[in-house]
Structure 1
């Protein structure tokens, strides 16, 4: 057999992606910033309450069975000495931006996938396994050396971005896993179905109903069968990704903007909760104006403090970014939901701006433009209000009485959305 050249090795391994996943990110940032938390079981919670759950857990806590989703009461039962810290989204975004700068010094970032995950595309000589591994180790070490020793990460290297993300999950913390094209399915066979990105609880159940219980069975299915199971092109895309081929990227258009808030105990009485809803609407309006959008609908959802009680309502109106108009609409929705909820206390409030369109949307071919419901005087006041809050701090000027509300209302880190710095001032 002839010797394999470096070019042949690239074709065989087809290592196109390096995927970085920060380990227990929120908890690691807290341990980095507070030496008293290092090497100790600790969790991060969204609000100071005994009735909430962990959104992150340190590896010392995970070793005791405490993980994301564990309630505070359960965590204390498992570990009476558990340390609890309230989330600091602005700090996590700040460290996130430093991590991006550090990674980019070694390898250009192709896509920021979440607050704690980035994907980098490998090119030419970087696709040799030895070279890709060296890049991964360098990134891991540089983050710990230049940002913080507690900020460990795992690296996945693979042909498709989805497989690279999968590989990054295989060994934690501080792991580096390579999935070569010529070795597939290889290490994938050791995984469970729900270890694969895109296979959540409902899809796992759907696969089981189709007679698929293992990754080996899933890998052996043809693309048309996955399309049937997924119910659309998502199945084709998953098949290609699983077999090391990146499906075509599809640009998505923003359709909504939303904010929600789990209320502290003193904000749960119905009238106090309404103040939080008004604050969330004001934040949505500020965000619409900053991003250059208007909305034509508002959806309100409130959840009762006890049981499964929930009420929701939606209204459509001429498009606007006028917070005064939006708060007026929300007040009407609130009266409807409060009567329907039939509870004196509210646990969670969620606001969604729907029918979102660019503020400068041009006329269509027939000359149609959306009807706009904005008062010019309102918009001048709101522009001044936005400027003052960005300069002097959030809620320096408010619409109506200032609501005693959690400092990061609305500016939370979601799985696939990282707040912009401006959001912490809105």
Structure 2
């Protein structure tokens, strides 16, 4: 475990990215309280709010109906994930023109590794990044830049003076800059973890700093506690490379689709999108899972397992069987639907069946071939032209690929 003596990391964190992106793309929204919503529904929550909205006390997660009731002129914009991804790629190119990007952490965050010769000029590099983005994209889209000896401390520094901040946490100053922070200001300490720490008498950063790494590991219940301690104390922490475990999509259903037929129609669209992503990544699947949830987050779960499969007709047939089970078990209404393909197998590891010349095996190979043809056609034309069975446009807004915290969709996902 190495303990850097200088500022080895530069962290770029954009301010209210989705909302600022919409204000950049739609100039008439600038200076106005506005927010971004996942779907056009009174029953959904805001996924991003502008600075002007934050000044009114409106926070991410606030329900549309409540905000509209209190602020009738508030502007709601449906999320346009494909536009945010385009903007993200432009931003990464700009950052790369100044300092190499070590890792893209999310749609609005990236960390850069500084060479020993660059570390003394870290703050100047941070200003250059901010100026380049303002010059080449515009002043609406601002970012906060943090510098530190490792990824965690650089990220904390970027959060310390938002919006439009520039902060460095020098390793020789630790723990000083951290002591004024709340526990929940530290990435990785959510309210649940903070409550667990409080039960152990750890209620502020000074108390957390005094812990030993094994103590924090025990309180956390996993090695993540020890990794957090190392990061806070200025050590470099290398995480093992994560393995792809599943491909999935979920969707809150519009009010008039909250019945079994509506959930089934939506699930078919979501499953095909997930299977396209899976094939493009070079995987097949041995399991399909389906969740139907009600307004209380309870509901129904089903799973079907099979030999490694990657063609749409076979997967859609498995989905149909799962919905028959849901119908028999009287799951008639659902607020949301989620599908997931898991227990993945790389396509190159699938062995040919020595006795696979049956009519069933031949049909499956044809379906695989047609699925690949459909993928190429739809990718080349940028829309769904060829599909198996009925295809619907889910009302209420966006139904394409969505940006997850640690996954940025490819252009082909939209």
With the shorter chain as reference, the TM-score category is over 0.9
Name the residue aligned to 1:336. Answer: 325
Alignment of 1:258-297 (within 5 A): 258-297=248-287
SS at match of 1:381: helix
Alignment of 1:241-252 (within 5 A): 241-252=231-242
Q: 2:308, 2:350 within 8 Å by CA — same for their partners in 1? A: no
State the superposition RMSD in angstroms. Answer: 1.8
Alignment of 1:210-225 (within 5 A): 210-225=200-215
Alignment of 1:17-416 (within 5 A): 17-128=9-120, 131-304=121-294, 306-340=295-329, 342-343=331-332, 345-361=333-349, 375-405=364-394, 408-416=398-406
CA distance, structure 2, for counterparts of residue 334 and residue 66 of structure 1: 39
CA distance, structure 1, for counterparts of residue 52 and residue 132 of structure 2: 23
Per-residue deviation, 1:58 = 0.1
Q: 2:39, 2:398 within 8 Å by CA — same for their partners in 1? A: no
The Cα offsets for residues 337-366 of structure 1, whole Å up to 9 and x where unpaired, read as: 3444643x4221101111012111277xxx
The Cα offsets for residues 364-392 of structure 1, whole Å up to 9 and x where unpaired, read as: xxxxxxxx988111011111111111122
Closer, same or farther: CA 324–18 of 1 in aligned 2, 3 Å: same
Q: How many residues align?
A: 402
TM-score, normalization by structure 1 = 0.90
Per-residue deviation, 1:93 = 0.2
Per-residue deviation, 1:410 = 4.5
CA distance, structure 2, for counterparts of residue 201 and residue 281 of structure 1: 33
Per-residue deviation, 1:106 = 0.4
CA distance, structure 1, for counterparts of residue 327 and residue 51 of structure 2: 42
Per-residue deviation, 1:91 = 0.1
Gaps of 5+ in 1: 1-10, 364-371
Name the residue aligned to 1:8. Answer: none
SS at match of 1:61: helix
User: Relative to structure 2, which stretch is displaced further, 131-140 or 255-264?
Assistant: 255-264
Name the residue aligned to 1:4. Answer: none
